[in-house]
């Protein structure tokens, strides 16, 4: 028996039996190890059906047992356990059984193998472990650290970056840029034969742990497969040469109120592949964030980079269930309780959204409850199985969230103490953001119709508690002489004569924290802040639209053009430019002349063709199939142009276009051949003026905080 | 998203749509005041929502009265100031 220590890179099932593990050892080796790993799933239901299922399975290569297990809601129940020696056969056997006996309830049947492995061995992906080996077989494995460690030893990853010299959706790439360590070079893609041989040699030479690509999912790997077949050159980008690459087809799905398109995916075995252009939140928290999520959720880095945080939180809940011997149902089985109309009106409400006082305000503090909803779930033990019960043991959801919440808080505390120029700040921010998203979606999953451990009443309990706490905070602030200008879900905007510095708000924060039992922090003090009125009626406030300048000059804006994804960069940059000028003064109204001069300059740049065409692109999401558009919106017109050019167009895809003079007034960017002289300058000036008005109008007109405004009618 | 009961904003919009023929028949200057009535209600959507009422428009009327009372009190105050200046 030998012993090895290192980091766990990858876990997956092996057709030859058991599971394969890849260990990055302390000696910088990459070891392919194997482990026996029988897996079990459960079935329950009508006794006769269960007996028939038993008889059917007896002929198969499985071990059957009658046992008792705990369902989260129903408690202890009799189940048939089905244990399979080779985990790669589980999916096929289960599909076969569930087709024959659809009326039975199944549990633990679709748990990812990495989660089963983590629950059983207490190790974790990307974590450190010690293995005792008998040749390639693991006889014993033990964890050497925890996913909740704040400052783990970083993985010494070898990263290879591959990117084409152009966006393949627009024009055919000619070269592939390769970077590995200090080496970077470019490889011509044609002729294909020497390119394939060269790439194969580079993969062998560098042996990367992570292949980071641009368009790897949607172009490079599918293309490599075609070229290698055409040229008869085998090229397996996996580290595990016994495996074929795993591809998932492209799909469109509906989530968070919008249609999302997910391109085809290429997953590798023994090493990871991440396509930066097809990774869900890569822009926000990057590789470090995806790795942090993989570490705490137990899903692989390749999955976490592409999936929504919802998949991550579901995995964490499964892990908690497995560790607590609670069955994981295949589908959600908790329907909403019956309610009277009055009960429904009472319960079916969201967070506290107040109506702000319209206009310009000075010296405003924004205070936020930190991770308010998860903190409520943990503090008040809100979980699907505990809601409405007094003195219940800690529920599955709070148990899942507690370490996550604590880790994020500790990382945030470290961040607060660091100098902003410290090299660790960027990495820490990404990890904090990645954890934040897991916490954010966890609340939504309590009420999500497909969440296995969801129950709408627990979701409603959280929002009800949050509204109550916000009202408590408002009352405390008002008792202390503050004016509450606005409240939005978990933040309050307050103002008081003479309250200008952090120290002036300490009492308020302490009082709120003491009474509510939740952490509340000062987000910042605005030297000025604007709540603009509705565009439709200037007497109506808008809850989610505001902009202002903090005392340190930093700008914060919500709900205005520069925050919307369909605003061209040129317009967004100009709006930000206006805000930057306004932010230099304690009274933004005094900056009007400077702003007007700046806008004139920006318009001249546009007229003189000195704005990059790329900065004029409008990006919108295609919300349905092109044929389903009854009104020919600019997005639909651009999508039709793409189709006419033979491009694949699916709902949820981002469609990029320009406003142009000729034809339909729209030119799809990905059709290619777009020149500056085509640009409809008037339309962009119109967009710019609209963005300008959005910010400046509130300074021009007298603010109407009287809703009837009799005086205006009389005037 | 995912709500069964329509929100106060939706219910106010529905009431306003229902009253559209009434508004249309009003003089333009009255239409502006009429819109102000709904603007007054919309300033208190959160507060209206906190009341578990089957008829939220009743509470909206109270919000409208509140805004009217606020306007009156502002006007009164201004009047007093003017009066004290000239007396």
Question: How confident is the model over A269-273, as a mean pLDDT?
Answer: 96
- Whether the CB-CB separation of A140 and A21 falls below 8 Å is answered with no
Question: How confident is the model over A663-678, as a mean pLDDT?
Answer: 83
Q: Can you give the pLDDT at residue A469?
A: 96
Strand ranges across the sheet with A62-71? A62-71, A75-84, A39-44, A105-107
Give the relative orientation of helices A569-583 and A681-700 as an angle to the nearest 10 degrees.
Answer: 30
Nearest Cα of chain B lies from the Cα of A541 at a distance, in angstroms, of 7
Establish if B29 touches chain A: CB-CB under 8 angstroms: yes
Q: Can you give the pLDDT at residue A364?
A: 97
Question: How confident is the model over A387-391, as a mean pLDDT?
Answer: 85
| Inter-chain CB proximity A708 and B33 less than 8 Å | yes
Establish if B72 touches chain A: CB-CB under 8 angstroms: no
* Interface contacts A/B by beta carbons within 8 Å: 69
- Whether the CB-CB separation of A129 and A64 falls below 8 Å is answered with no
Establish if B50 touches chain A: CB-CB under 8 angstroms: yes
Query: Per mean pLDDT, which range of A335-349, A509-523, A541-555, A582-596 is the poorest?
Result: A335-349
Taking 60 as the threshold, does the pLDDT of residue A712 lie above it?
no
Taking 50 as the threshold, does the pLDDT of residue A713 lie above it?
no
pLDDT band at A255 (very low <50, low <70, confident <90, very high): low
Q: Can you give the pLDDT at residue A211?
A: 96
Taking 80 as the threshold, does the pLDDT of residue A659 lie above it?
yes
Contact residues on chain A for B45, CB-CB shorter than 8 A: 353, 355
Q: Can you give the pLDDT at residue A306?
A: 86
| Inter-chain CB proximity A355 and B53 less than 8 Å | no
pLDDT band at A342 (very low <50, low <70, confident <90, very high): confident
Establish if A467 touches chain B: CB-CB under 8 angstroms: yes
What 3-state class would DSSP assign to A407? helix
Q: Could you give the domains of chain A?
A: 2-143 (3.30.342), 347-391+454-607 (3.90.1600.10), 613-678 (3.40.1820.20)
Task: Please provide the DSSP assignment of A520-556 as one string.
Answer: EEEEEEEEEEEEPBPSS-TTSB-TT-EEEEETTS-EE
Question: Residue B75 to residues A537, A691, A711, B72: CA-CA distances in angstroms?
Answer: 22, 35, 10, 5
Q: Can you give the pLDDT at residue B10?
A: 93
Checking phi first, is residue A517 left (phi over 0); if not, alpha (psi -120 to 50) or beta? left
Q: Can you give the pLDDT at residue B63?
A: 95
Taking 90 as the threshold, does the pLDDT of residue A637 lie above it?
yes
* Maximum separation of any 2 CA atoms in chain A, in Å: 95
CA A638 to chain centre: 28
| Inter-chain CB proximity A537 and B35 less than 8 Å | yes
Taking 90 as the threshold, does the pLDDT of residue A715 lie above it?
no
Domain ranges of chain B: 8-86
Q: Under 8 Å CB-to-CB from A144, ≥6 apart: which residues?
A: A5, A127, A128, A129, A130
pLDDT band at A158 (very low <50, low <70, confident <90, very high): very high
- Whether the CB-CB separation of A690 and A561 falls below 8 Å is answered with yes
Q: Can you give the pLDDT at residue A93?
A: 93
| Inter-chain CB proximity A537 and B46 less than 8 Å | no
Look up residue B2 and give its two tokens.
């995912």
Contact residues on chain A for B37, CB-CB shorter than 8 A: 708
What digits encode the pLDDT tens for the residues A74-115? 889 999 999 999 999 999 999 999 999 999 999 999 999 999
Taking 80 as the threshold, does the pLDDT of residue A673 lie above it?
no
Q: Can you give the pLDDT at residue A427?
A: 92
Test mutation, B2, B58, B62, chain A, max A CBs within 10 A: B2
Taking 90 as the threshold, does the pLDDT of residue A517 lie above it?
yes
Query: N- to C-terminal Cα distance for chain A?
Result: 94
Establish if B4 touches chain A: CB-CB under 8 angstroms: yes
Our CA angle for A234, A236, A241, nearest 5°, is 115
pLDDT band at B39 (very low <50, low <70, confident <90, very high): very high
Q: Can you give the pLDDT at residue A710?
A: 46
| Inter-chain CB proximity B39 and A487 less than 8 Å | no
Contact residues on chain A for B79, CB-CB shorter than 8 A: none
Establish if A533 touches chain B: CB-CB under 8 angstroms: no
Q: Under 8 Å CB-to-CB from A275, ≥6 apart: which residues?
A: A213, A214, A215, A216, A217, A218, A263, A265, A266
Q: Can you give the pLDDT at residue A251?
A: 75
| Inter-chain CB proximity A713 and B71 less than 8 Å | no
ipTM of the complex: 0.83
Q: How many CB atoms lie within 10 A of CB A677?
A: 8
Taking 80 as the threshold, does the pLDDT of residue A260 lie above it?
no
Distance CA A587, CA A140 (A): 68
Task: Please provide the DSSP assignment of A9-24 as one string.
Answer: EEEEE-TTSSEEEEEE
Q: Can you give the pLDDT at residue B18?
A: 95
pLDDT band at A283 (very low <50, low <70, confident <90, very high): confident
Contact residues on chain A for B3, CB-CB shorter than 8 A: 348-350
Burial call B37-56: b when 16+ CB within 10 Å, e when fewer: bbbbbbbbbbbbbeeeeeeb
Distance CA A623, CA A379 (A): 39
Task: Please provide the DSSP assignment of chain B as one string.
Answer: ---SSPPHHHHHHHHHHHTHHHHHHS-HHHHHHHHHHHHHHHTTHHHHHHS--S-HHHHHHHHHHHHHHHHHHHHHHHHHHHHHHH-
Establish if B1 touches chain A: CB-CB under 8 angstroms: yes
pLDDT band at A554 (very low <50, low <70, confident <90, very high): very high
Question: How confident is the model over A28-50, as a mean pLDDT?
Answer: 95
Distance CA A448, CA A453 (A): 9
Q: Rounded to the nearest 5°, which phi and psi values hold at A219?
A: -135, -60
Going by the DSSP 8-state scheme, the letter that residue A217 receives in this structure is: I
Nearest Cα of chain B lies from the Cα of A590 at a distance, in angstroms, of 28
Distance CA A555, CA A273 (A): 37
| Inter-chain CB proximity A342 and B52 less than 8 Å | yes
Nearest Cα of chain A lies from the Cα of B25 at a distance, in angstroms, of 18
Q: Can you give the pLDDT at residue A711?
A: 43
Q: Mean pLDDT over all residues of chain A?
A: 91
Q: Can you give the pLDDT at residue A112?
A: 94
Distance CA B68, CA B74 (A): 10
Q: Which is nearest to A531 in space by CA: A695, A352, A707? A: A695
Distance CA A256, CA A237 (A): 35
What 3-state class would DSSP assign to A422? coil
- Whether the CB-CB separation of A458 and A397 falls below 8 Å is answered with yes
**CA trace torsion A247, A252, A256, A257 (10° rounding):** 180
Nearest Cα of chain B lies from the Cα of A447 at a distance, in angstroms, of 8
Which chain A residue is nearest to residue B67, measuring alpha carbons?
A707
Checking phi first, is residue A75 left (phi over 0); if not, alpha (psi -120 to 50) or beta? left
What digits encode the pLDDT tens for the residues A590-610? 999 999 999 999 999 999 999
Test mutation, B7, B30, B36, chain A, max A CBs within 10 A: B36
| Inter-chain CB proximity A708 and B53 less than 8 Å | no
Distance CA A600, CA A575 (A): 13
Q: How many residues does chain A have?
A: 715
Name which of B44, B53, B67 is nearest A708 (Cβ-Cβ). B67
Q: Can you give the pLDDT at residue A708?
A: 62
To the nearest whole percent, how much of chain A has pLDDT over 90?
72
Distance CA A195, CA A235 (A): 11
Name which of B5, B29, B42 is nearest A344 (Cβ-Cβ). B5
Contact residues on chain B for A447, CB-CB shorter than 8 A: 2
Q: Can you give the pLDDT at residue B1?
A: 46
Contact residues on chain B for A540, CB-CB shorter than 8 A: 39, 42-43
What digits encode the pLDDT tens for the residues A176-230? 999 998 899 999 999 999 999 999 999 999 999 999 999 999 899 999 999 999 9
| Inter-chain CB proximity A713 and B29 less than 8 Å | yes
Nearest Cα of chain B lies from the Cα of A713 at a distance, in angstroms, of 7
Query: Per mean pLDDT, which range of A159-173, A280-294, A389-403 is the poorest?
Result: A280-294
Which chain B residue is nearest to residue A351, measuring alpha carbons?
B46
Taking 90 as the threshold, does the pLDDT of residue A379 lie above it?
yes
What digits encode the pLDDT tens for the residues A416-469? 888 888 989 999 999 999 999 999 888 888 877 777 888 888 889 999 999 999
Test mutation, A543, A707, A711, chain B, max B CBs within 10 A: A707
- Whether the CB-CB separation of A158 and A180 falls below 8 Å is answered with yes
Distance CA A85, CA A62 (A): 7
Q: Can you give the pLDDT at residue A666?
A: 92
Contact residues on chain B for A355, CB-CB shorter than 8 A: 42-46
Q: How many CB atoms lie within 10 A of CB B11?
A: 18
């Amino acid at each position: 028996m030998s012993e090895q220590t290192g980091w766990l890179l990858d876990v997956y099932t092996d057709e030859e039996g058991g599971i394969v593990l890849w260990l990055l050892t302390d000696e910088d080796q990459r070891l392919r190890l194997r482990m026996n790993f029988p897996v079990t799933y459960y079935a329950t239901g009508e006794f006769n059906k269960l007996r028939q299922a038993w008889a059917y399975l007896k002929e198969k290569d499985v071990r059957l047992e009658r046992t008792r297990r705990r369902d989260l809601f129903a408690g202890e129940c009799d189940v048939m356990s089905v244990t399979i020696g080779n985990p790669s056969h589980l999916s096929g056997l289960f599909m076969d059984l569930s087709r024959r006996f659809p009326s039975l309830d199944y549990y633990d049947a679709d748990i990812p193998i990495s989660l089963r492995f983590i629950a059983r061995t207490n190790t974790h992906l990307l974590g450190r472990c010690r293995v005792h080996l008998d040749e390639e077989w693991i006889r014993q494995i033990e964890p050497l650290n925890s996913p909740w460690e704040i400052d783990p030893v970083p993985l010494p990853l070898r990263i290879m970056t591959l990117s084409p010299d152009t966006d393949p959706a627009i024009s055919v790439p000619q070269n592939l840029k390769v970077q590995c360590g200090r080496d970077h070079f470019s490889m011509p893609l044609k002729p294909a034969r020497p390119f394939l041989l060269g790439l194969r040699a580079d993969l062998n030479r560098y042996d990367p742990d992570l292949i980071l690509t641009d368009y790897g999912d949607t172009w490079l790997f599918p293309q490599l497969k075609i070229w290698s077949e055409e040229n008869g050159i085998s090229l397996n980008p996996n580290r595990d040469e016994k495996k074929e690459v795993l591809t998932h087809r492209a799909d469109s799905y509906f989530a968070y109120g919008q249609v999302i398109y997910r391109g085809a995916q290429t997953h590798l075995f023994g090493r990871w592949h991440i396509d930066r252009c097809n990774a869900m939140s890569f822009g926000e928290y990057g590789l470090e964030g995806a790795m942090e999520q993989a570490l705490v959720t137990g899903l692989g880095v390749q999955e976490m980079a592409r999936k929504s945080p919802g998949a991550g939180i579901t995995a964490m809940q499964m892990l908690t269930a497995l560790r607590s011997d609670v069955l994981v149902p295949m589908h959600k089985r908790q329907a909403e309780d019956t309610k009277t109309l009055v009960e429904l009106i009472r319960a079916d409400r969201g967070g506290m959204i107040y109506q702000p006082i319209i206009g310009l305000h000075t010296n405003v503090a924004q205070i936020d409850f930190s991770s308010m909803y998860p903190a409520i779930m943990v503090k008040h033990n809100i979980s699907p199985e505990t809601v409405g019960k007094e003195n219940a043991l800690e529920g599955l959801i709070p148990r899942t969230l507690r370490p996550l919440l604590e880790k994020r808080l500790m990382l945030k505390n470290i961040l607060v103490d660091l100098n902003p120029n410290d090299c660790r700040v960027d990495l820490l921010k990404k990890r904090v953001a990645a954890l934040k998203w897991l916490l954010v979606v966890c609340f939504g999953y309590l009420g999500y119709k497909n969440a296995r451990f969801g129950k709408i009443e627990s979701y409603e309990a959280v929002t009800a508690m949050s509204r109550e706490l916000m009202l408590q905070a408002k009352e405390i602030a008002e008792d202390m002489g503050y004016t509450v200008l606005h409240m939005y879900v978990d933040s309050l905007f307050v103002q008081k004569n003479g309250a200008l510095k952090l120290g002036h708000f300490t009492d308020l924060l302490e009082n709120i924290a003491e009474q509510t039992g939740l952490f509340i922090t000062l987000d910042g003090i605005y030297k000025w802040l604007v709540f603009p009125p509705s565009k439709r009626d200037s007497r109506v406030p808008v809850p989610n639209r505001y902009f202002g300048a903090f005392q340190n000059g930093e700008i914060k804006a919500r709900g205005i053009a520069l925050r919307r994804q369909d605003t061209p960069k040129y317009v967004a940059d100009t709006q930000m430019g206006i805000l930057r000028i306004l932010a230099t003064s304690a009274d933004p109204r005094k900056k009007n002349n400077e702003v007007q001069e700046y806008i004139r300059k920006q318009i001249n740049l546009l007229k003189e063709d000195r704005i990059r065409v790329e900065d004029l692109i409008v990006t919108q999401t295609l919300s349905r199939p092109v044929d389903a558009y009854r009104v020919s919106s600019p997005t639909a017109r651009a999508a039709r142009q793409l189709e006419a050019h033979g491009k694949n167009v699916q709902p949820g895809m981002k469609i990029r276009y320009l406003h142009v003079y000729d034809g339909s007034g729209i030119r799809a960017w990905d059709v290619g051949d777009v020149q500056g002289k085509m640009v409809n300058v008037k339309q962009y000036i119109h967009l710019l003026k609209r963005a300008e008005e959005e910010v400046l109008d509130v300074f021009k007109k007298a603010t109407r905080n009287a809703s009837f405004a009799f005086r205006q009618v009389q005037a | 998203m995912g709500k069964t009961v329509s929100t106060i904003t939706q219910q106010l919009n529905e009431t306003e749509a229902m009253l559209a023929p009434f508004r249309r028949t009003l003089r333009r200057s009255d239409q502006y005041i009429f819109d102000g009535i709904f603007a007054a209600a919309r300033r208190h959507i959160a507060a209206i929502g906190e009341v578990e009422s089957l008829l939220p428009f009743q509470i909206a009327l109270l919000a409208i009265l509140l805004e009217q009372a606020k306007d009156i009190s502002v006007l009164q105050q201004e009047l007093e100031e003017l009066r004290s200046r000239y007396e």
